[in-house]
Structure 1
C-alpha cells in the first residue's frame, strides 16, 4: 500500500504534455558569453590564425606555379633548359609540404583551444545551475538544464572542431584567389567577382531561413531530453500505473517534432547547396568561354587560363564547405543563445554585497523571528499572508495543517530557498538576506522527506554535513543517531556504496543517514520537513529516537502530518490557508476544542 501511495505522489511530478517555456535570453547575452569564452585564449587564437594564414598562402600558390610551368618551364625545356621547370616543381612540392605541416599544426592548436573552451563552458553551466535558486529549478525541468550541458555544448563543439576551420579556409581562399585573379588578368578577375552578388543573396537567404529552423531544432531536442529524463526518474510510478503506452505516445510526439525540425534543416541545406552549385557552374562556364576568346586573339596565355580555371574551381568548391559551416553555425548559434540565457539567469535569492556574521553564542540554538512576512509565488498567488512569529532559541516547534496550508513554504523561507515577498526573517536579530550562503548553511540545515543520498559510500554521504570531518567523527555521529549498527552490518560497512539515490538501503535507513549528516553539521536551527511520513512503524520509532538526539538544545521546526511526530515538540502551530490559527503546547491544544484536538482524536481513533 505504501508503495502505491508513493508511486501516486511521484506520478504527479511527471511532466505534463505542455513543456515548460524556454529560459528567456537577454539581448546580447550570447555575444557576451562568446567574448568571455574566447577572451582567455586570445594569444593562442592569434597564433592559430597566423598558422592558417601561412598555410593557405602555401596552398593557393599551386595553380599559379602550374601557370608558370606551362608558360615558362615547358618552353624552356624545349630549348633544353630544364632548370626553370625543375625549380617550379620543387617550389610546388615545397608549398604542398609546408601546407600539410601547417595544417597539422593548426588542427592540434585549434583542438586544444576548443577543448579548453568546452571544458570552461561545461563547468560554468554546472556551477551556475547549482547556484540558481529553488524557484528556478521548480519552474524548469532538470532535463532542460541537462540539454544545455549536453546537446547544446555538442553543437558548439562541432562548430569549433570543424566549422571554424572551414570558415577560415573559405575566407582566406576567397581573399588569396581574388587577389591573384585580378593580378593575372583583371578582365577575367572582374567577371569572376560579379558572381559574388548572387552567391551573397543565396547565403543570406539560407542564413535567415535556417536560423529559425535551428532554434526550433534546439528546443525540440531539449523537449526529447526532458521527456526521457523525467520519465526515467519516475520509472516506478510509470510501471506501477502502467503508463508505458501513454508515455510512449507523448514521447513519440516530441520525438517526431525533433525529427521534423532536423529534416527541415537538411532541406534548407540541400536548397542552398543546389542553388550555389548551379550558380558556380554557370559562372565557371561563362569565364572559361570568355577566356577561350582571349586566348584565341593572343591577349591571354594558355597557362594563365589554365590557372584561372583551377583557381575558379578552388574559389567555388569551398561553397559546399561554407554550407556545412553555416549548418553548424546556425545550430551552434541557437545552442549558444540558449546556454547564454541559462548563464544570464541570476538567482532570485542573491548573495549580500557585505555579508554579516552571526554573533557568538554559548547555546546551540538561535532565535528565529518572522516580522510582517508575506510570500507569494511568481504566479501572484499569495501563499502566506502577512504574519509575525517568534521561535525562541532551543525550542522545538511542530507545524501541522492540511496539504497546501503553507507549512513547507514556511520551512523554505526559513531555509532561505525563497525570500519573503515582504517583511523580514531574522536569525538572532540578523536578516537572513544579510548572511552569506555559507554562513546561513552553517546555521540552518533542512532534512527533507526524501532524504536524498548521492552515489558513493555511507561515510561520504554523512560527511556532506561537514566535509572536513574525520572518519571517527562520522562514525560517532552515526552512533549517536542509532545508525551505527545497521551501517556496520552492510557488506562494506561505512564504505558501502549506497548507489543511485541511496537505493541500496531502506527508506528508514536513508532517513537515519540524513539525521547523522545533520548531527555532524551541528546547526543552530534544524528544519525537518515530513521526516517520517514515508516510514513504517518500526522505522518511524527509530527515526524518532534519532530526532530526540539531533534536536537536543537546538531551535527546530518540524513539518509533520503524523501526530506521533508532534509529541516530541515543545510547541505546535496549526496552519490553515497560510495563516496560523492555533498556537500552543501539544497538551494545551489537545485538551482544547480546536482543529488540532480534532486531528489528535482522529489519529487516536485510527490506532484502535
Structure 2
C-alpha cells in the first residue's frame, strides 16, 4: 500500500493533552493521591513497630507488650487495606471516566477523517487504532496509571520513613542509584522506538487478516489459500521481529533492575549491623530500615513493569491523537458562495506516474441533471470522488461555490455535496433510526416522506414491526435493492444541494431503477444531480451527458446532440440498444 498513513501526534501534543486531563480532573486526582498516600503511611507503621518491638524485647519486655505491638500492627494492616480499597475504587472510576472521554473523542475524530486518507492508509491502519491502540490506552488508564501511582507514592514515603528512622543507615540505599540510572536511561532511549514499530506492525497484520476473511469465497474459488497464507506469514514475520524487540528490551532491563533493588536490602543490613556493633544505632533500627528496604522491592518492580506498559500506552495515545490532528487539518474555513460545482483542469493519479484523469474541466449548471457515462475504468468514479472532495486532484482544482473543495470545512462539505455509491451499509437499528442518521433531529413524518420519495414506504409497511423493525446485523434481512433505497432515503433527508449518484441503483432491476430515479428527480427539483450512469437509460433522462474516455472528457451535450454528432456516446447507445438495453450496456 502506497500513499500517506495516518500520522502520530508529537510529544508536545501528547504532553498538552495529558495536562488538559489533569486540569479537568485535578480535584479527583488529588483525592486519589491522598488516599494512596494515607494507605502507604499506614503500611509504614508495621516495620517501624517491628523494630521498636525488637528493641523492647532486647530490653526485657514481656508477652503483654509483644501482644500490644502485634495488635497494633494488625490494626494498621486493616486500616491500610480499607484505604487501598477506597483508593483503588476511586482510581478505577476516575480512569474509566477519563478513558470514556478519550474513546468518545476518538470516535468523533474517526468519523471526521477524510475517506480518501483512510483508503490511502489502508483499513488495517484504522482498525489497529480503533482496536489495538484503544485497548492499550484502556489498559494504561485503568491499570498502569493507578498501579504506577500506588508504587510511586509508596516508594517516596518509604524512602522518607527510612531517612527519618535512621539518617545513618538510609544513605546505603543510594548504592543502587547508579545502576538504576544506567539501566533506565538505556531503556528510555530505546523504548519509544520499539513501541512505535510494534504499533505500526499491527496495521498490515489486521489488513491481511481482514482481506483474507472478507474474500474467503474468492480465496476458495480460485485456490488462493497458499498465496494468502504466504501473505499472512510475511506480515506475521515482520510483526514477530518487532514483538521480539520488546521482549529483548525487557530481558535486559528486568535482571539488572532486580539486582539494583536487592542492593539496598543487603547494604542496609550490613552497614546497619556494623553501626549497631559500634553502638551508634539499635538492633531494632537496623531491622526497621532493612524491612523498609525490602518493602521497596515490590513497588519498584511494579514501577519498572508499568513503565513498560506506560511507554506502550503513550505511543498508542500519540497514534490516537494523530487521528484528531487529521480532523483538524481536514478542510479550511472557506464557505461556498453559491451552489456552483466545477472542475478546472484536474488531473489525478492513485500512484505516481499512473494518471487516471488528464486535464478534465467541467462546470455543472446548478439544478441540472448531469449523467457521466463511459466504459469501465474510464475514470467516472474517480471524477465523482473529486467532485465530492473525497480525493484531492494531483493538479487543478475542484470547486464548490467558487471555493476549492479542500478549503471547505469537512462537515460543511458533506452538507453541500453528497456521494452515494452502489455500496450501502445498514446499521443494526430500526428502519427509522437508520434513515434518521442523516439528520438526527428529523421527525418521524420527515423520515417517512424520505422513504416515500425513494419508493421504500410500501415494503416497509409489510415488515414485522413496520418502520420500527430492526434491520442490519442480527435484524430483519433486506435485499440489496431495499438497502439501497434506505441509503437513498438518507440522502433525501440530508438535503444536499448537489447529489452524486455513483451507480447507486445498480442493484435494482431496470424498471425499478428508472422509477426510483424519477422519484428522486421530483424530490430534488432545483438541486444538482450528477449520475454516474450504469445504464444508458439513466443518461437518456439527463439534461446533459458528459462522456469520459481514458480519463478525458471527450463529449458533452444532450442525448439528442450527442447522437447527432455520431461520436463515442452514439457508439455506446447503438451497442446498448442492439443488446436490448441490458444492464451491461455501459460497462
TM bracket (short chain): 0.7 to 0.9
Contact in 2 for aligned 1:220/1:261 (Cα 8 Å): yes
Selected match of 1:456 from 411, 429, 435: 429
Contact in 2 for aligned 1:481/1:550 (Cα 8 Å): no
What's the offset of the Cα at 1:566? 0.9
Question: What is the DSSP-based 3-state SS (H/G/I as helix, E as strand, rest coil) of the residue aligned with 1:317?
Answer: helix
Q: Tell me the distance in 2 between the aligned counterparts of 1:171 and 1:517.
A: 54
What's the offset of the Cα at 1:589? 0.8
Contact in 2 for aligned 1:26/1:344 (Cα 8 Å): no
Q: CA RMSD in A?
A: 3.4
Moved more, 394-403 or 44-53: 394-403
What's the offset of the Cα at 1:57? 1.9
Q: Tell me the distance in 2 between the aligned counterparts of 1:371 and 1:222.
A: 35
Contact in 2 for aligned 1:29/1:344 (Cα 8 Å): no
What's the offset of the Cα at 1:61? 2.6
Contact in 1 for aligned 2:32/2:90 (Cα 8 Å): yes
User: Does the alignment pair 1:65 with 2:65?
Assistant: no
User: Equivalent residue for 1:402?
Assistant: 375
Question: What is the DSSP-based 3-state SS (H/G/I as helix, E as strand, rest coil) of the residue aligned with 1:155?
Answer: helix
Contact in 2 for aligned 1:128/1:343 (Cα 8 Å): yes
Selected match of 1:225 from 197, 203, 206: 206
User: Equivalent residue for 2:539?
Assistant: 566
Moved more, 458-467 or 391-400: 458-467
Taking the TM superposition and a 5 Å limit, the aligned residue runs for 1:134-173 are 134-173=115-154
Residues 220, 522 of structure 1: CA spacing in aligned structure 2 closer, same or farther, 3 A cutoff?
closer
User: Equivalent residue for 2:555?
Assistant: 582
User: Equivalent residue for 2:23?
Assistant: 39
What's the offset of the Cα at 1:537? 4.0
Q: Tell me the distance in 1 between the aligned counterparts of 2:3 and 2:404.
A: 37
Moved more, 465-474 or 393-402: 465-474
CA shift digits 1:255-299 (9 cap, x unpaired): 454455444434432432222233443553344233333333433
Which residues of structure 2 form unaligned runs of 5+? 582-587
CA shift digits 1:17-66 (9 cap, x unpaired): x8985634445232223223333111111221122222212212321221
User: Equivalent residue for 1:487?
Assistant: 460
TM-score, normalised relative to structure 1? 0.84
Q: Tell me the distance in 1 between the aligned counterparts of 2:350 and 2:12.
A: 25
User: Does the alignment pair 1:336 with 2:329?
Assistant: no
Contact in 1 for aligned 2:14/2:318 (Cα 8 Å): yes
What's the offset of the Cα at 1:503? 8.8
CA shift digits 1:467-505 (9 cap, x unpaired): 444434433443343333333333433333331499922
Selected match of 2:399 from 422, 425, 444: 425
User: Does the alignment pair 1:285 with 2:285?
Assistant: no
Contact in 1 for aligned 2:8/2:318 (Cα 8 Å): no
Taking the TM superposition and a 5 Å limit, the aligned residue runs for 1:165-564 are 165-281=146-262, 284-346=265-327, 349-352=330-333, 355=335, 368-370=340-342, 372=344, 374-376=346-348, 384=357, 388-418=361-391, 422-423=396-397, 425-427=399-401, 441-500=414-473, 504-537=477-510, 539-550=512-523, 552-564=525-537
Residues 267, 411 of structure 1: CA spacing in aligned structure 2 closer, same or farther, 3 A cutoff?
closer
Question: What is the DSSP-based 3-state SS (H/G/I as helix, E as strand, rest coil) of the residue aligned with 1:350?
Answer: coil
Residues 374, 184 of structure 1: CA spacing in aligned structure 2 closer, same or farther, 3 A cutoff?
same
Moved more, 309-318 or 541-550: 541-550
Question: What is the DSSP-based 3-state SS (H/G/I as helix, E as strand, rest coil) of the residue aligned with 1:451?
Answer: coil
Contact in 2 for aligned 1:405/1:576 (Cα 8 Å): yes
Contact in 2 for aligned 1:122/1:149 (Cα 8 Å): no
Q: Tell me the distance in 1 between the aligned counterparts of 2:336 and 2:578.
A: 50
Q: Tell me the distance in 1 between the aligned counterparts of 2:403 and 2:160.
A: 71
Q: Tell me the distance in 1 between the aligned counterparts of 2:423 and 2:541.
A: 21
CA shift digits 1:75-120 (9 cap, x unpaired): 3635x9x56x566445434432332222112111111111111111
User: Does the alignment pair 1:598 with 2:579?
Assistant: no
Contact in 2 for aligned 1:373/1:422 (Cα 8 Å): yes
Contact in 2 for aligned 1:374/1:423 (Cα 8 Å): yes
User: Equivalent residue for 1:6?
Assistant: none
Q: Tell me the distance in 1 between the aligned counterparts of 2:305 and 2:283.
A: 35
Question: What is the DSSP-based 3-state SS (H/G/I as helix, E as strand, rest coil) of the residue aligned with 1:445?
Answer: strand
Q: Tell me the distance in 2 between the aligned counterparts of 1:234 and 1:76.
A: 82
Number of residue-to-residue matches in the alignment: 579
CA shift digits 1:307-339 (9 cap, x unpaired): 122112112333321232122122212212222
Contact in 2 for aligned 1:400/1:572 (Cα 8 Å): yes
TM-score, normalised relative to structure 2? 0.86
Selected match of 2:89 from 97, 108, 120: 108
Q: Tell me the distance in 1 between the aligned counterparts of 2:410 and 2:267.
A: 71
What's the offset of the Cα at 1:534? 4.6
What's the offset of the Cα at 1:305? 1.6
